[in-house]
């Protein structure tokens, strides 16, 4: 740490993303990304013309991109705010509507970045325990004294609360901002986007990193009332007016317009998820029913950390969390049909090996 870092950031605990090792080729199922390419329209959009125009600043209002998103979701452009991934969008939301010491609530088991943000912005965070089965009980949030951020579906469980429950929450608390992070919603089929028209305290955050196969581009957006979007834009213009570059926006416009390719990719991921879940269950795993592009599973036959390490030796990356309530589980992103077949074969072999040799930390042999 340098002598220049301001005191309030000395206690900061930066977020640790899923590892991105480059030592060999992995089947990468540890960060809820996808090995599927973006829409073919993205390849066309990143043409020589876009590269030639790099000499000019991009539109800081991001009008074409916001309009393209608005058109697809039946919104108006002034209800859409865009940023570098859901992460940056969330960051702008916290920067704009929270100040030091303000209360923020989120589930104790959720996307780890919320804790990081709360610390970065000096917020008074309170983590609401999820139920024994790791699901969120919306009734725990009904009578709180501050704003709420909630991933729906949640990460790393894949569980979601119903849109009706979210509506109850926003309707009962018109003075409190409710931020619903819908990073995985395209795999769930139930979005609270339509509620934005009726509830000016609701902000919905989305990303292109999952269902649009563009994590490397890092595009995200928020949908909210015109007033909230105007506030976000004025903070953006006071911080970094050109947060979105021209190539990213050209790619984003092409991707969001290609609904055919989008639907095809989402459908295949959901199919792969359900097949993978069924196969894991045949192997004795307990798999939480997921509405996302990953499964959260555990087996009495093998310690999850050991399984994670052994899969890595086989060239397959998955994500293990050390937290007490999560350590028995393993999060496995849903990849292509072929990738999931390879994972299943590897898991079967690891379990076989465990059966033969229960010295290597195996809890029980199935
Ligand atoms: N929200 C949730 C719930 C996530 O799990 C993630 C990424 N893992 C993000 C937001 C970040 O999305 P982006 O890549 O758009 O920053």
Question: pLDDT tens-digit profile of 20-40?
Answer: 888 889 999 999 999 999 999
pLDDT for position 363: 53
Residue range 40-258 forms a domain whose CATH class is: alpha beta
Does residue 32 have its Cβ closer than 6 Å to ligand 1? yes
Does residue 111 have its Cβ closer than 6 Å to ligand 1? yes
Q: Which ranges of the chain does DSSP label H, i.e. alpha helix? A: 40-45, 48-52, 63-73, 85-97, 113-120, 163-172, 226-237, 246-257, 259-282, 304-313, 337-356
Does residue 160 have its Cβ closer than 6 Å to ligand 1? no
Q: Whole-number mean pLDDT of the chain?
A: 95
pLDDT for position 88: 97
Asked if residue 44 has pLDDT above 80, the reply is: yes
Only one residue has tokens 């969390």, namely 321
Does residue 207 have its Cβ closer than 6 Å to ligand 1? yes
Question: pLDDT tens-digit profile of 11-21?
Answer: 888 888 878 88
Does residue 33 have its Cβ closer than 6 Å to ligand 1? no
Sheet (strand 103-107) strand order? 80-83, 220-223, 202-207, 178-181, 147-151, 103-107, 124-128
Half-sphere exposure of 177 (CA within 13 A, CB side): 18
148 contacts 176 by C-beta, under 8 angstroms: yes
Question: pLDDT tens-digit profile of 317-359?
Answer: 999 999 999 999 999 999 999 999 999 999 999 999 988 876 5
Ligand 1: centre distance to CA 106 (Å)? 15
Pull the structure tokens for residue 361. Answer: 């930390």
State the architecture of 7-34+260-359 in CATH terms.
Alpha-Beta Complex (3.90)
Does residue 346 have its Cβ closer than 6 Å to ligand 1? no
Whole-number Å distance between alpha carbons of 42 and 62: 17
Confidence band (pLDDT; 50, 70, 90) for 97? very high
| Minimum-distance ligand 1 atom for the alpha carbon of 18 | 8
Ligand 1: centre distance to CA 33 (Å)? 10
Question: pLDDT tens-digit profile of 286-312?
Answer: 999 999 999 999 999 999 999 999 999
Closest by Cα among 232, 172, 170 to 202:
170
218 contacts 255 by C-beta, under 8 angstroms: no
What is the number of H-type helices and E-type strands within the chain?
A: 11, 12
Ligand 1: centre distance to CA 183 (Å)? 6
pTM: 0.95
Residues of the chain with CATH 3.90.1150.10: 7-34+260-359
Does residue 110 have its Cβ closer than 6 Å to ligand 1? no
Does residue 86 have its Cβ closer than 6 Å to ligand 1? yes
Residues of the chain with CATH 3.40.640.10: 40-258
Please return the burial class of 139, using the count of CB atoms within 10 Å of its CB with bins 0-12, 13-18 and 19+.
exposed
Give the single-character DSSP code of 78. Answer: G
pLDDT for position 366: 43
DSSP run (H or E) holding 204: strand 202-207
pLDDT for position 177: 98
From 30, 82, 149, 209, the mutation candidate for ligand 1 (largest count of ligand atoms within 8 A of CB) is 209
pLDDT for position 24: 85
Does residue 233 have its Cβ closer than 6 Å to ligand 1? no
Ligand 1: centre distance to CA 310 (Å)? 26
Question: pLDDT tens-digit profile of 205-259?
Answer: 999 999 999 999 999 999 999 999 999 999 999 999 999 999 999 999 999 999 9
Does residue 209 have its Cβ closer than 6 Å to ligand 1? yes
Asked if residue 362 has pLDDT above 80, the reply is: no
Does residue 87 have its Cβ closer than 6 Å to ligand 1? yes
Mean pLDDT of the 195-214 span? 98
pLDDT for position 365: 45
Confidence band (pLDDT; 50, 70, 90) for 176? very high
């Amino acid at each position: 740490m340098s002598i220049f870092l301001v005191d309030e950031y000395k206690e900061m605990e930066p977020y640790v993303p899923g590892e991105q090792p480059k030592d060999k080729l992995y089947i990468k199922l540890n960060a809820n990304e996808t090995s599927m390419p973006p829409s073919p329209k993205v390849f066309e959009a990143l043409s020589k013309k876009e590269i030639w125009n790099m000499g000019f600043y991009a539109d800081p209002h991001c009008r074409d991109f916001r309009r393209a998103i608005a058109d697809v979701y039946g919104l108006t452009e002034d209800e859409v705010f865009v940023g570098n991934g859901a992460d940056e969008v969330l960051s702008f939301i916290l920067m704009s509507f929270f100040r030091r010491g303000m209360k923020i609530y989120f589930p104790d088991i959720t996307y780890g970045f919320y804790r990081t943000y709360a610390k970065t912005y000096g917020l008074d965070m309170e983590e609401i325990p999820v139920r024994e089965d790791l699901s969120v009980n919306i009734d725990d949030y009904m009578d709180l004294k501050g704003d709420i951020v909630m991933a729906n579906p949640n990460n790393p469980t894949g569980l979601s609360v119903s849109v009706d429950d979210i509506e109850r929450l926003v309707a009962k608390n018109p003075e409190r901002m409710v931020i619903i992070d819908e990073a995985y919603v395209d795999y769930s089929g139930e979005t609270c986007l339509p509620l934005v028209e009726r509830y000016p305290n609701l902000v919905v955050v989305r990303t292109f990193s999952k269902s649009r196969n563009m994590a490397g581009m890092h595009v995200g957006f928020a949908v909210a009332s015109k007033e909230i979007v105007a506030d976000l834009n004025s903070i953006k213009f006071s911080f970094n007016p050109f947060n979105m570059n021209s190539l990213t926006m050209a790619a984003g416009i092409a991707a969001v317009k290609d609904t055919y390719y989008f639907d095809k990719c989402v459908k295949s991921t959901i199919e792969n998820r359900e097949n993978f879940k069924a196969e894991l269950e045949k192997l004795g795993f307990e798999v939480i029913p997921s509405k996302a592009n990953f499964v959260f599973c555990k087996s009495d036959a093998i310690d999850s950390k050991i399984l994670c390490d052994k899969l890595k030796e086989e060239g397959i990356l998955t994500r293990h969390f050390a937290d007490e309530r999560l350590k028995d589980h393993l999060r496995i992103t849903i990849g292509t049909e072929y990738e999931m077949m390879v994972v299943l074969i590897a898991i079967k072999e690891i379990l076989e090996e465990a059966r033969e040799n229960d010295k290597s930390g195996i809890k029980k042999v199935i």
